[in-house]
Amino acid sequence: MIEIDLDPSTKDCLPSNFMHGYSSASYQIEGGFKQDGRGLSVWDDVLRDAPLGNGDVACDSYNLWKDDVRLLQQYGANTYRFSISWSRIIPLGGRNDPINPKGLAYYSNLIDALLNAGITPFITLFHWDTPLALEERYGGFNATGHQKEELMQDWERYAALVFDTFGDHVKHWITHNEPQSYAILNARVLKKDNFDVEVDRWVLGNNLILTHARAVALYRREFQQRQRGIIGITLDIEWVEPLFETPEANTAAEESVDILAGWQSSRTDLGKHNETIKKFANGNLPDFTAEEWKLIKGSYDFFGVNHYSTKWATGVVRQGLTSDERYHGDFEHVTQDQQGKAIGRRGHNGHPYDVPWGFRKLLNDIRRRWMGPRSVPIYITENGFAGDHEGDRTLEEIVNDEDRQEYFRGYLEAMAKAVKEDGIDVAGYFGWSLLDNLEWSMGYAPRFGVTHVDRENGCKRTPKDSTVVIKSIFHHLVASSEGDTAQSVM
């Protein structure tokens, strides 16, 4: 285990009500794919015979959720971000389809246990697991024409059910997780044989941001005043730094972040399409009606950020790329400088690199470019490290995860300095992830979890040493509060 040598100036720099904990997602951890009436999602279909594994069992959190809550207590977490499986509570997904009471009971029991343990639930409505029935009816979130309104109404019914059922106890909501990444997964995995990147990514992106805005409008209109919660969206944003002090590298870096973040954030924050995105879409970006723009602009109570790493932009414009290869633009990004020195410690297959200084720069850039006139807090809803080929190590080596410990120490200190020295309003932080879970089509090889899961032995959980380091870091960063209302889980 590493020595925790933190800057004394960051002592107690975060308020006593600062939220800190871990994240997860339903399909990645729950398992129980046919248990208690759950309907199938698109991932159950696509990964059915996948050689790298699927989510049939995952981490078996549908049955082992009490263990997860105990771990969160042990780790000193005061919040937990998880997502609802749409097809677990409405198996066929649609507004006229039956509700599954056992699915609702699962999440209700989890929420109650978290609250009894002094842990605040932070819920994501959609973390990529579209009900398969809706995909088959109208293409899921790629619905067009009159079927687009079918999607909107089915989504609103789902959101209303979740708010109405859980909103008296849940005060923190995320509509969508990483619209950009979900679009990529549609292009490369979920619809790889039937997805026109030049057109369909923009249709999908517009539908995601509009369903987000309609869920926010619904919550504000019917639930927020009496439930007194907050709602937003979370975006995946990597930092891109110019490798050279040249106009070309500076432009490449700024426009690269535009493509990574500006696609959605310019719309929700500023109420308009990002100029870089408009140029990049080459006329394929559908517009919204005036009424839709009214819903979209300002449709957030906080700015949610998933961040993992940083790359350099050289300023070189790549030529001859396929549509898929230019998903994040035409600019060249590198992780080694001209002398061959890596930008930071390399994670699993190069994701992520450990570059904490980029995290601080990103937080400042978010405030500068996308917060607009509104003053809302930032929540870091995912941040974490997968050790290179961690799955090939012994259990003792896995537990002694010094690469992950170093990563969290660097990133948490960078965040603390952004708060203390730069005045950035960060209200919460969630490490990705609580468990070594399924990483979608990449299977179980990338290990982001702070908890080892032995899937050959009943999904036995073993805490890694990074949990001790993270707990100690937050003990240093967060000002103490009087009293402790946490109770025993069971």
Q: What is the structure's pLDDT at 262?
A: 77
- Active-site option among 382, 390, 406, 439: 382
Residues in contact with 146: Cβ distance below 8 Å, sequence separation at least 6, in sequence order: none
**Is pLDDT of 487 > 70?**
no
What is the per-residue pLDDT for 324? 84
Q: What confidence tier does 490 reach under pLDDT thresholds 50, 70, 90? A: very low
Can you tell me the distance from the alpha carbon of 147 to that of 140, in angstroms, rounded to the nearest whole number?
9
Which SS3 state, helix, strand or coil, does residue 286 take?
coil
Question: pTM of this prediction?
Answer: 0.96
The answer to which of 79-88, 265-274, 299-308, 469-478 has the lowest mean pLDDT is: 265-274
Tell whether the model's pLDDT for residue 270 goes beyond 50: yes
Tell me how far apart the alpha carbons of residues 331 and 15 are, in angstroms, rounded to a whole number.
40
pLDDT band at 486 (very low <50, low <70, confident <90, very high): very low
Q: How confident is the model at residue 267 (pLDDT cuts 50, 70, 90)?
A: confident
CA-based nearest residue to 120, from 73, 87, 156? 73
Closest of 2, 33, 1, 6 to residue 412, by C-alpha: 6
Of the chain, the percentage scoring pLDDT greater than 90 comes to 89
* Residue 482 bears catalytic tag: no
Q: Are 296 and 210 in contact (CB under 8 A)?
A: yes
Give the CA-trace dihedral at 452, 454, 455, 459, to 10 degrees: -80
Q: For 206-238, write each residue's pLDDT tens digit.
A: 999 999 999 999 999 999 999 999 999 999 999
Query: What's the confidence (pLDDT) of residue 260?
Result: 87
371 pLDDT exceeds 90? no
| pLDDT for residue 227 | 98
Please give the average per-residue pLDDT across 269-284, as a whole number: 89
For the CA atoms of 409, 236, 77, 434, the dihedral, rounded to the nearest 10 degrees, stands at -90
Give the mean model confidence (pLDDT) for residues 202-208. Answer: 95
Please determine, for residue 458, whether its predicted confidence score (pLDDT) is greater than 80.
yes
Rounded to an integer, the average pLDDT of 72-86 is 98
pLDDT of 481 reads: 80
Asked if pLDDT for residue 372 goes beyond 80, the answer is no
The amino acid at residue 434 is L
Q: How confident is the model at residue 373 (pLDDT cuts 50, 70, 90)?
A: low
Angle between helices 146-166 and 197-222 (to 10 degrees): 40
488 pLDDT band (50/70/90 cuts)? Answer: very low
Domain ranges of the chain: 8-477
The 3-state DSSP class for residue 345 equals strand
Mean pLDDT of the chain: 95
Would the CA dihedral through 308, 313, 317, 318 be positive or negative? negative
How far is it between the farthest Cα atoms of the chain? Answer: 62
Q: What's the Cα-to-Cα distance from 150 to each of 138, 140, 157, 475, rounded to whole Å?
A: 8, 10, 11, 48
Which pLDDT score, from 0 to 100, does residue 484 have?
37
Side by side, which strands form the sheet with 239-242? 239-242, 310-317, 331-334
- Comparison of pLDDT for 120 and 486, the residue scoring more: 120
pLDDT tens digits along 388-436: 999 999 999 999 999 999 999 999 999 999 999 999 999 999 999 999 9
| Mean of pLDDT values over 318-336 | 91
Q: Is the pLDDT of residue 483 over 50?
A: no
Please report which helix (H) or strand (E) contains residue 236, including its range: strand 230-236
Q: State what percent of residues in the chain have pLDDT above 70.
A: 98
DSSP secondary structure letters along 294-328? HHHTT--SSEEEE---EEEEEEEEP-S--TTTTTT
The fold for domain 8-477 equals TIM Barrel (3.20.20)
Structure tokens at 403: 């690469």
Three-class secondary structure of residue 138 per DSSP = helix
Estimate the crossing angle of helix 466-477 against helix 402-420, to 10 degrees. 20
The residue ranking higher by pLDDT, 128 or 1, is: 128
